[in-house]
Amino acid sequence: MRKKRGPEPAGVSESERLLFGGPLRYDMGWNQHSEAFLELNFRSMVTRLPSLLAASLRLARQADPVAARTVLAAEAARGVAQAVSLLAVNDVLGRLMAPGPIEGRLREALPALVTVAAVMMVAALLRAATTYATGRLEPKVERVATEQYLERAAEVELSAIEDHAFHKLLDTAQYGAVSARHMIAYSARVINGMISLVAAAGVLTVLHPALLPLLVTMTLPSAWSALTVARRRYASFQAWVQHVRAGRLIAGLLIEPEAAPEIRVHGVGGFLLRHYRAMSETAEAEQTRLAALAARTGLIAAAWTGLATAATYATLGGLLLGGAMALSVAGTAVIAIRTGSQSLESLVVEVNALHEEALFVGDLERLHVEAAERTIPVGGAALPAEPREIRFENVTFRYPGDTARPALDDVSLSLPLGRIIALVGENGSGKTTLVKLLSGLYTPDRGRILWDGVDAATADRRQLADRIAMVAQDFKRWPFTARVNVAVGRSAAPLDDERVAAAVAEAGAGEVVADLPRGLDTLLARHFTGGHELSGGQWQRLGIARAAYRRGRILVVDEPTAALDARAELAVFEKIRALAGSGQTVVLITHRLASVRHADLVHVLDQGRLVESGTPDELLATGGVYAELYALQAEQFTKVPAPKPA
Ligand SMILES: Nc1ncnc2c1ncn2[C@@H]1O[C@H](COP(=O)(O)OP(=O)(O)OP(=O)(O)O)[C@@H](O)[C@H]1O
């Protein structure tokens, strides 16, 4: 049965009503979140624990096998030492309480006393070994887990990164690495606790069989309480993770330099703060709910433990009174019960902590499984060395979760290599989507993309990406130096300064670099000391230089001149034409139709469909969409404004 949860994370909270006189007037669009991963119950916790424990041990072995073995061996030995020490104490008590003169009894007890002392020394040494090995292991485990997390994130398809469910998993799994680190110490203590508990339970069973169930009854309530609280905390975390992320995002917006001008001019600060407060208050309400539940659970558990403890000691008293147990045995039983219940209680606390951490490591494991299913495939058919044509055959593509029309609908077109091909169409007509499919970032839902005869869906994706150089509309402005911003175009190869200089010249970015305070070595991150910021147009030229540095066979440029002034725009198109002259294929997306004049072939898209194809002259002569858009733009320059009425 599903337990009732607290207030919905992004529902209308009391604070929202107070602050805004009703629900927040602006829906930020974060309210949707899928049902959390909640099949948690006591049984599933216990059954999942071994596999989660195994996962953490696997990580430990990968990180530092010697340290992992040391921790395991030392903790197991420490548990055995506790058992031996308990047996020795039993021996000491038995001998001390035996009849006879005290000197004789002390002498008799001496070997057992020496054993207790020796075992304590060994236990101290083992503890030191565990402390050292755990300390060595923990940071390595965290590093290995983080690396695996980042590797998985970098290897998945773009569609996975854009999928909100997968992103949520990325969000939660990021805590897995720190949890894996914590799990090492908890695992060590759990192993130790289990062995010492077995020792105490063994001794108790030997003393009297009735004592063992009593010990278990005494400790069960705290086990129940700890696990219940942990389960609630995790369930709440899962349901609230998106909310917390959104809160962090809002807080981040308030201090982000990019948002600063609008926050000040449009006065967005107060609006964001109100949202932040409303979100925080709903989150605080959830924390309060959890705290109240934890307090109630703790009280119930304490009452249950009290009753069980009273019953245990009453049984012990009964056994003594009835003559069923000797006083020395009862003494050992009290010690064994105390050690046993202490071990059991700390075991419960450690198992609980381990379980809580393991749940997060479980998210990391789940990420690994899901990422493996969504990883960019390795290998595949070889692409032709010198393809002549890339053909889209009846390609249909719809973005996941997008129920409206497909972004590309039954598109068939040809991209002859070594030419300039322009993609034209109104906003949202599917141009960017088409080049993303061309670059292998998405695969068609229907239809094929053929490189001569080879279907891109079966081709080696690394080879395909290798042939593409892209200046996307929103290309990344890396917070690195100008030199790295260019050379990152082919980061797998060692940085080549001559090639950087050539790329900068090719993209007409020489002036941009010359104006930088430290030339190519200028850090392009304003919010760092010594950092410098470029204008949109200057960035665009560096973006083109990056693509030139990459030297892919096909250069995809999406709106290359959107941020350029008229002179720079002309220069960039000159460069692009020159590139095409040297046999480079250019796929150009632009709304500046005057610049398309020099294209060899123009494809016109409208609402995801291909509506026209031909040379610019052919399209102008046909009088279709292209001619209409062209005329509209030309009119802006040629139309003489009508005189204003007097
Ligand atoms: N990542 C995405 N997820 C969901 N839908 C998307 C995504 N990217 C684009 N779309 C949708 O796909 C359609 C085509 O978008 P696309 O970016 O390909 O158009 P475009 O022709 O390049 O537009 P523009 O000229 O404005 O750049 C649009 O309706 C858009 O909303």
pLDDT digits 0-9 by tens, 264-302: 877 888 888 888 888 888 888 888 888 999 899 889 988
Q: Which of 510, 521, 515 is nearest to 548 (CA)?
A: 510
431 Cα–ligand 1 center, Å:
8
**Structure confidence by residue, pLDDT tens digits, 585-626:** 999 898 888 778 888 999 999 999 999 999 999 998 988 888
Helix pair angle (327-374, 268-321), 10° resolution: 150
Question: In the prediction, which pLDDT does 139 show?
Answer: 93
Contact 172, 363 (CB under 8 A): yes
Please name the residue whose Cα sits nearest to atom 24 of ligand 1. 427
Nearest atom in ligand 1 to 426's CA: 25
Please name the residue whose Cα sits nearest to atom 9 of ligand 1. 433
User: CB-based contacts of 561: which residues, under 8 Å, 6+ apart?
Assistant: 540, 568, 569, 572, 573, 590, 592, 595
Please name the residue whose Cα sits nearest to atom 8 of ligand 1. 433
Please name the residue whose Cα sits nearest to atom 17 of ligand 1. 432
Q: Which residue matches tokens 């069989």?
A: 209
Burial of 215 (0-12, 13-18, 19+ CB in 10 A): buried
**Structure confidence by residue, pLDDT tens digits, 433-443:** 999 999 999 99
pTM of model > 0.80? no
197 Cα–ligand 1 center, Å:
62
Is 489 strand, coil or helix?
helix
Q: CA-CA distance, 2 to 4, in Å (whole number)?
A: 6
Of 158, 433, 435, the one to substitute when testing ligand 1's pocket (max ligand atoms within 8 A of C-beta) is 433
Question: In the prediction, which pLDDT does 7 show?
Answer: 39
590 Cα–ligand 1 center, Å:
14
C-alpha neighbours within 13 Å on the C-beta side of residue 134:
21
Question: In the prediction, which pLDDT does 30 show?
Answer: 42
CATH of 474-551, one of 3.30.300.30, 3.40.50.300, 3.20.20.70, 3.30.70.2190: 3.40.50.300
Please name the residue whose Cα sits nearest to atom 11 of ligand 1. 407
Ligand 1 neighbours (beta carbon < 6 A):
162, 399, 402, 407, 425, 427-433
406 Cα–ligand 1 center, Å:
10
Stretches where the chain sits below pLDDT 70 are 1-46, 48-49, 52, 402-403, 560-564, 579-581, 637-646
Contact 570, 549 (CB under 8 A): no
Number of H helices, E strands in the chain: 21, 10
CA angle, residues 359, 362, 363, in degrees to nearest 5: 100
All CATH 1.20.1560.10 domain ranges of the chain, comma separated, are: 46-374
CA 369 → CA 169, 324, 597, distances in Å? Answer: 11, 58, 50
Of 398, 431, 587, the one to substitute when testing ligand 1's pocket (max ligand atoms within 8 A of C-beta) is 431
How many whole angstroms from its chain centre is CA 77?
38
Nearest atom in ligand 1 to 434's CA: 18
Question: In the prediction, which pLDDT does 281 show?
Answer: 85
468 Cα–ligand 1 center, Å:
20
Please name the residue whose Cα sits nearest to atom 31 of ligand 1. 428
Nearest atom in ligand 1 to 559's CA: 27
CATH number of 46-374: 1.20.1560.10
Of 395, 398, 399, the one to substitute when testing ligand 1's pocket (max ligand atoms within 8 A of C-beta) is 399
432 Cα–ligand 1 center, Å:
7
Residue at 83: amino acid letter: A
Contact 189, 126 (CB under 8 A): no
All CATH 3.40.50.300 domain ranges of the chain, comma separated, are: 474-551
Contact 139, 175 (CB under 8 A): no
Please name the residue whose Cα sits nearest to atom 16 of ligand 1. 430
Burial of 436 (0-12, 13-18, 19+ CB in 10 A): buried
